[in-house]
Structure formats: C-alpha cells, structure tokens
A and B are shown apart, each in its own frame.
Chain A
Amino acid sequence: MLIPHPLLGLRDAQEFVYLGDASLLNRPDGMAEGAAEAFGDYVYLRDNPAGVHRELWFHEQGDRSWLVVTRDTTTHEILGAELARDVALAAKGGAA
C-alpha cells in the first residue's frame, strides 16, 4: 500500500505507524464541565465505519510528520492525505 505523502509523494505504508481515528485530534477541554464523560467518550468510543474513514498515520521511518489519511476501509483505496498539523490548525480557525 502506498500513501501519498503531501510533501514527499508516494511512500510505502511500511514506513508509517497507524494511530487510529483522526477524531483523536479533537481532544476535549479537560477543565470544562462534564470533562470526565467527554474524556470517557474520547478515549473509548470510536466509529467503526465500513467505507470512508479518516485516520492518523505517523511517518516514523520518514520525516516524522503526522498525516490524516482518508481511506476506504472496504477497498483499502486511499482517497487523500493531508498533514495533521494543517488539519488541526484549520480546525482551530488559524491560517494553515
């Protein structure tokens, strides 16, 4: 499987480490009301879709960047990859 790294082009999936659902980027505020429940959901609850899934991959034997890879779990087709940093900054409303 080849992952289209946004900076380095197609790279072998063996260079990467898989972390899981990209929703892990949305870490709840630990100081807010109901933080315990929010963290319970954050740590333990995941969607398990048959189809398009956004997930985190770490380019460990590479440039050490985190990517958000969009993958179809039924066909393993990779639909896109972005730097997780850009995704997180865009979610915060900053200029990515």
Chain B
Amino acid sequence: MSDLKPITALGGAVSRAQSFGALSIVENSGLALASLALRDGMTPPIPMGLTLPGPGGWTTGGDVAAFWTGPGQWMIEAEGKAEEDFAAALAAQVPGGFVTEQTDGWVAFEISSAAGEGPIRRLMEKVVNVDVAGFAPGCATRTGLEHMSVFLIRRAEDRLAIIGMRTLAASLWHALETAATRLQDHPAA
C-alpha cells in the first residue's frame, strides 16, 4: 500500500494556528463529533456521564461535551478522538438512539482571548448576528457567518469555538482571519 499522508481540514500536515493580538485561532483537528437523535418521548440518556443540554445550551464533562442542535437532537464532541470510532463508542451508550458519525463533515476553530471576554465579544459582533451579550459561557447555537452555516459554542468567557462545514474550512478561516486582523489593527474601534 502506498504511503498515505493525513491532512487537516485546511490541508496542512499539522493544525493551523495563528495569533492576532489578544486573539488566537487554532484549527482543532482532534475533535471527534457524532450527532445523536432520540425518538419522540424517549427519556434523554446520560451518555458518558454527560447531561444533555436544553435548547441553546452546551454542557461539558471532561473530555466529552454536548450541544443542542434541534428538538431531540444533539451533537456530541470528544476532544482528541477524531481518529477513533467515537460514533460507535457513543452508540453503545445510547440504546435506541440514532448516532451518526460527523467528524469528517466539519472543521472546528477554537478561538481564545488573552485579554478576557472583550476581544471574543468584539469578534462575534463583527461576524455573527446573534445576541452577543446574552451568549454566555454554556451557550451554543447555529447561525450564519458570511452565508455559511456554523455552530458557535461559548466554552468560556474567553473562549469561543466555531464549527463549520469542512469543505468551506478555508473560507471560514479567511472570514475569521480578516475580522481578527481588523480587530488587531483597530482595537476597541
């Protein structure tokens, strides 16, 4: 068999990372994703000890986390498990639920701020049309970003994850890079 070289969503051998003043954006290639849907009336399971969040929510329990994507539907994240069969591990935990592998469909960018929540809020104000003041840690939502559909997860005051379609990874990076560069050039403008 020929030598195959795995590449990241942005096409690199290693994850891309770049700093823009206080903000840094890192491509998270290790994040495994699997969607979970339940039948009507099913009692929500507690997969891997994780309490599934309500509408607009995100909950985390160590290496796994979950965010709400629709009525009776969640996306489950597992840090550093992108190269394992995470969907199968999850399916074993939720008998009767519907689990679909999602890792290869998405690209995740982890944005962190070295100067508190200010830069994160200013970036969000530039790129997405959601209520930024109400988007506290533990919130997650799907919205549009430059006509691309993305999930936003506020992991902490100073951390935001943006998960977008993998085929549009470069466009999403470009959008974030452009906005972050402008914020760096014009701080608190």
- The answer to whether the Cβ of B143 comes within 8 Å of any Cβ in the partner chain is yes
Q: Contact at A7–B129, with CB atoms within 8 Å?
A: no
Q: How far is the CB of A64 from chain B (nearest CB, A)?
A: 5
- Residue count of chain B within 8 Å CB distance of chain A: 15
Q: Could you list 22 examples of A-B contacts with CB < 8 Å? A: A7-B55, A7-B56, A7-B71, A8-B55, A8-B56, A8-B141, A9-B131, A9-B134, A12-B130, A15-B143, A15-B144, A60-B149, A61-B143, A62-B141, A62-B143, A63-B55, A63-B68, A63-B70, A63-B142, A64-B70, A65-B70, A85-B71
Q: How far is the CA of A64 from the CA of B134 in the complex (A)?
A: 21
- The answer to whether the Cβ of B103 comes within 8 Å of any Cβ in the partner chain is no
15 extra interchain contacts, Cβ-Cβ under 8 A, other than A7-B71, A9-B56?
A: A7-B55, A8-B56, A8-B141, A9-B131, A10-B131, A14-B129, A15-B129, A15-B143, A61-B142, A61-B143, A61-B144, A63-B70, A64-B70, A65-B70, A83-B71
With a cutoff of 8 Å between Cβ atoms, the chain B residues found around residue A14 in the complex are 129, 144
Q: Flag B70-91 by CB within 8 Å of A: 1 or 0 each.
A: 1100000000000000000000
Among residues of B, the one whose C-beta sits closest to the C-beta of A63 is: B70
Q: How far is the CA of A65 from the CA of B55 in the complex (A)?
A: 12
Among residues of B, the one whose C-beta sits closest to the C-beta of A12 is: B129
Q: How far is the CA of A82 from the CA of B69 in the complex (A)?
A: 18
Give residues in A with beta carbon < 8 Å to B: 7-12, 14-15, 60-65, 83, 85
With a cutoff of 8 Å between Cβ atoms, the chain B residues found around residue A8 in the complex are 55-56, 141
Q: Contact at B143–A63, with CB atoms within 8 Å?
A: no
Give residues in B with beta carbon < 8 Å to A: 55-56, 68-71, 129-131, 134, 141-144, 149
Q: How far is the CB of B21 from chain A (nearest CB, A)?
A: 29
With a cutoff of 8 Å between Cβ atoms, the chain A residues found around residue B55 in the complex are 7-8, 63
With a cutoff of 8 Å between Cβ atoms, the chain A residues found around residue B56 in the complex are 7-9
A8-B56, A10-B131, A12-B129 known; A63 vs B69 contact (CB < 8 Å): yes
Q: How far is the CB of B112 from chain A (nearest CB, A)?
A: 25
Q: How far is the CA of A62 from the CA of B128 in the complex (A)?
A: 12
Q: Contact at A65–B71, with CB atoms within 8 Å?
A: yes
With a cutoff of 8 Å between Cβ atoms, the chain B residues found around residue A64 in the complex are 69-70
Q: How far is the CB of A11 from chain B (nearest CB, A)?
A: 8
